[in-house]
Amino acid sequence: MNFLDQLRAAERLNDSLLCVGLDPDPAKFPTHWKGDAGRIYDFCAAIVDATKDLVSAFKPQIAYFAAHRAEDQLEQLMAHMKRTAPHVPVILDAKRGDIGATAEQYAREAFERYQADAVTLSPFMGRDSIEPYLRYPDKGAFLLCRTSNPGGDDWQMQRLADQPGQPRLFEHLARLAQGDWNLNGQLGLVVGATYPQEIERVRALAPSLPLLVPGVGAQGGDAQATVAAGWRVAQGGGTVIVNSSRAVLYASSGEDFAAAARRVAQATRESLRPASPVGTASKASAN
């Protein structure tokens, strides 16, 4: 299956729109592993094992591994997820944004070294910065579009005077991703959960693309508003992947951290259902 098929299958199988972000910070590990970067794999693998039937995707953030010289642990974790949760796609959160031969190497890193199913990219160097990733036809790529950080306004909200209607930069990017750039149907967009109205605007411009939405949980995004803004009922409409990282990972500082992570993941999944296609389908089958 290609990435989008795998994503939809996981969404149906696990009855979920939730993505668990794997951002391991040893300083926040449970007491018995606190500060031990050698336990990054053990910590993340325990989270995966506790939540693999509750999610539509996992999203490891590469910087949290690289900062601790733990790339080998990331490789080990990727292999573990492929082995124990092969039905759940893995999005490597790398936010790469280079061109030419360098972009080709980053694509090899994501898809060949780490065996990711999709990757996050910064598209602001233009179309040729994403083309090397599209040469892997079964893989996905999520382009940063409207991010949740305050500084995103510096560029993403600026209007383009030379375009009809003077769209904002994020709106122009959404149109490109829905249209000319999406050669093999591989693209998705990253839109922060802290801006539901802008999620709705991106969805209107890119009706068929999957939206990866960080910011639910510790960052304060509203889960139901996110899904309501981003999901399209119409056949062929794009899905929503709602990411939660810290709220799940660090639900407990004790030895019960994995069980606590499962409880938070389950509660988050349930909170997404009232506004989601998954929840609608579940209610219909129950009746």
CB atoms near residue 8 (< 10 Å): 15
Give 166 or 113, the one with higher predicted confidence: 113
Q: What is the pLDDT of residue 155?
A: 76
- The residues near 198 (Cβ < 8 Å, ≥ 6 apart) are 146, 170, 191
112, 85 Cβ separation under 8 angstroms? no
Q: Say if residue 233's pLDDT is above 80.
A: no
Mean pLDDT (whole number) for 31-46: 97
Does the pLDDT of residue 160 top 80, yes or no?
no
pLDDT of residue 277: 54
Q: Where are the domains of the chain?
A: 3-282
Half-sphere exposure of residue 95: CA atoms within 13 angstroms, side-chain side = 9
- Position 287 scores a pLDDT of 33
Note the pLDDT of residue 222.
66
Q: How many CB atoms lie within 10 A of CB 72?
A: 11
Residue-averaged pLDDT of the chain: 88
Give the other-Cβ count within 10 Å of 216's Cβ: 28
* pTM of model > 0.85: yes
pLDDT surpassing 50 at residue 284? no
For the ranges 68-72, 203-207, 263-267, the lowest mean pLDDT is seen at 203-207
CB count in 10 Å sphere of residue 261: 25
Kindly report the CATH number that applies to the domain delimited by 3-282.
3.20.20.70
Q: Which of 188, 203, 263, 3 is nearest to 11 (CA)?
A: 3
Q: What is residue 157's predicted lDDT score, i.e. its pLDDT?
A: 75
pLDDT digits 0-9 by tens, 95-142: 999 999 999 999 999 999 999 999 999 998 999 999 999 999 999 999
> Active-site residue numbers?
95
Identify the pLDDT of residue 272: 85
Mean pLDDT of 55-63: 98
State percent of the chain over pLDDT 90.
Answer: 70
Adjacent-strand bridge partners of 242? 18, 213
Distance CA 269, CA 206 (A): 24
Q: Which range among 108-112, 146-150, 190-194 shows the weakest confidence by mean pLDDT?
A: 146-150
Residue 282 confidence (pLDDT) above 60? no
What is the percent of the chain with per-residue pLDDT over 70, rounded to a whole number? Answer: 88
Please give the distance of CA 107 from its chain centroid, rounded to a whole number: 17
What CA–CA distances, in Å, run from 51 to 44, 47, 124, 249, 276?
11, 6, 34, 11, 19
Residue 220, burial from CB neighbour count under 10 angstroms (0-12, 13-18, 19+): exposed
